Amino acid sequence: MIIPKEIREKIEQKLKLDEDIEKFFRENEDVDGLYFPSMEIVDEPTGEEQSNGEFCSQSCGYCEDDFYGHYYWPMDNGKYLRMYFEC
């Protein structure tokens, strides 16, 4: 299969947007443990409210000193950006 120009251009655009988003987070947030490919926009967060309207839904790992879950950032349209994390 050869990827046609129309799809290649969309892939290039997506990768550039992903890079811009990751750069924004690296400049404004502690990104250790965040899994950028997991980004989703959701209507409602789950978990416990943190600061600035952010939410965290996490579980304890097998070693009981590690955690995983989802972090939610409020967006200007009333929805939330959800991203998976492990730490």
Per-residue b or e along 30-49, where b marks 16 or more CB atoms closer than 10 Å to that residue's CB: eeeebeeeeeeeeeebeeee
Domain boundaries, the chain: 1-30, 32-87
Kindly tell me the burial class for residue 71, based on how many C-beta atoms sit within 10 Å of its own C-beta (0-12, 13-18, 19 or more). buried
Q: Which residue is it, tokens 């251009």?
A: 9
- Check whether 85 has a pLDDT greater than 90: yes
- Check whether 44 has a pLDDT greater than 90: yes
- Check whether 14 has a pLDDT greater than 80: yes
Per-residue model confidence (pLDDT) at position 66: 77
**Average pLDDT of the segment spanning 54-81:** 89
pTM of the model: 0.83
- Check whether 7 has a pLDDT greater than 90: yes
